[in-house]
């Protein structure tokens, strides 16, 4: 590994100042599970590394029925998956955090790191998108808020400026009779990257199985995570049924534009996008009925 300067700021302002001072040659360090691998094996040589470790305000979860869920960007996956409200009300996020890497990885890997790294296969990205999460971002000119899907610009490329820090994520409280799910396909059962990841959130009418709102987000089938909007529209205001889910799954499949790589061919990925969307619609429906 090349030599680099290491900073451990004790406040957000100090961290932002350090980022501004070091320009393009600086990288933030959260759990390090992407960054250190990239520095050791992928030719990334930052001149300076700024650790988020001492910024305790970036860690933890808070839930309020009226305000929704706040997740600090430096909160690790194990903490997120174990948080009862996340499991009960934001199940897709618990699913995503729960499948990422291994126990050891989940104890280090943070939500902010997973999103800022901007891999199209990031396991928490489709869940955050269907849960309508807004990223809270701090920079030298103040703070701004951005829907999570808009952080993804291309494989490994985000819309965050080098001197911006993801501070946290805000997730609105889902309405009653809402269910969400995230599933991924990997060649190996654990410790593998998604060949396809699918998240779905469905909100049902209060007195029937009519779908009031549907959100579908696909991972690893395009340069960024993508919404399957045509499929969402086809579901909205219709009675949930196998036929409707099959039709929506076909539309989601058509929205995918995957590449072939060592994990799977483009054709296999496109096929999986359809199969998994249909499966996730069924699970989200069951969860919505139980909510």
Ligand X SMILES: Cc1cc2nc3c(=O)[nH]c(=O)nc-3n(C[C@H](O)[C@H](O)[C@H](O)COP(=O)(O)OP(=O)(O)OC[C@H]3O[C@@H](n4cnc5c(N)ncnc54)[C@H](O)[C@@H]3O)c2cc1C
Q: Is 251 in the site for ligand X (CB under 6 A)?
A: no
How far, in Å, CA of 219 to CA of 125, rounded? 8
Query: Which residue, 52 or 221, has its beta carbon nearer to ligand X?
Result: 52
Name the one range near ligand X by CB under 6 A: 16-24, 26-34, 207-215, 249-257: 26-34
Does 113 engage in binding with ligand X (CB under 6 A)? yes
Of 33-41, 142-150, 245-253, 256-264: span binding ligand X (CB under 6 A): 33-41
Give the binding range for ligand X (CB under 6 A) out of 82-90, 105-113, 170-178, 261-269: 105-113
Q: Is 22 in the site for ligand X (CB under 6 A)?
A: no
Q: 150: which 2 tokens?
A: 């808009």
By CB under 6 A, the residues from 179 to 208 that bind ligand X are 191, 193
Residue nearest to ligand X (CB): 113
Q: Which of 75, 110, 180, 224 binds ligand X (CB under 6 A)?
A: 110
Q: Which is nearer to ligand X, 114 or 178 (CB)?
A: 114
Query: Is residue 218 near ligand X by the rule CB under 6 A?
Result: no
Residue 136 is a binding residue for ligand X (CB under 6 A): no
Q: How many CA atoms lie within 13 Å of 201's alpha carbon, on the beta-carbon side? A: 27
Rounded CA separation 289/170 (Å): 25
- Provide the mask over 60-79, with x wherever binding to ligand X is found by CB under 6 A and - wherever it is not: -------------xx-----
N-term to C-term CA, the chain: 50
Residues 151-170 that bind ligand X (CB under 6 A): 160, 165-166
Per CB under 6 A, residues contacting ligand X are: 27-35, 37, 52, 73-74, 100-101, 105, 108-110, 112-114, 116-117, 121-123, 160, 165-166, 191, 193
């Amino acid at each position: 590994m090349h030599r680099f300067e290491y900073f451990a700021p004790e406040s957000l302002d100090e961290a932002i100042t350090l980022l501004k001072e070091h320009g393009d040659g600086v990288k933030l360090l959260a759990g390090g599970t992407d960054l250190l691998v990239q520095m050791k094996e992928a030719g990334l040589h930052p001149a300076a590394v700024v650790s988020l470790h001492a910024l305790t305000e970036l860690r933890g979860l808070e839930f309020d029925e009226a305000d929704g869920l706040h997740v600090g960007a430096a909160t690790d996956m194990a903490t997120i998956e174990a948080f009862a409200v996340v499991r009960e009300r934001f199940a897709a996020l618990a699913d995503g955090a729960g499948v990422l890497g291994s126990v050891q990885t989940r104890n280090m890997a943070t939500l902010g790191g997973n999103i800022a790294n901007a891999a199209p296969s990031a396991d928490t990205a489709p869940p955050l998108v269907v849960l309508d999460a807004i990223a809270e971002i701090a920079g030298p000119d103040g703070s701004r808020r951005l829907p999570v899907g808009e952080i993804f610009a291309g494989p490994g490329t985000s819309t965050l400026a080098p001197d911006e820090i993801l501070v946290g994520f805000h997730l609105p409280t889902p309405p009653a009779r809402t269910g969400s799910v995230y599933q991924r396909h990997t060649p190996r059962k654990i410790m593998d990257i998604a060949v396809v990841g699918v998240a779905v959130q469905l909100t049902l009418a209060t007195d029937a199985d009519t779908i009031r709102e549907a959100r579908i987000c696909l991972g690893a089938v395009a340069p960024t995570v993508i919404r399957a909007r045509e499929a969402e529209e086809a579901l909205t205001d219709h009675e949930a049924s196998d036929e409707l889910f099959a039709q929506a799954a076909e539309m989601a499949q058509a929205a995918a534009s995957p590449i072939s790589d060592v994990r799977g061919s483009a054709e296999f990925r496109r096929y999986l996008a359809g199969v998994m969307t249909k499966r996730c619609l069924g699970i989200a429906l069951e969860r919505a009925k139980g909510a």
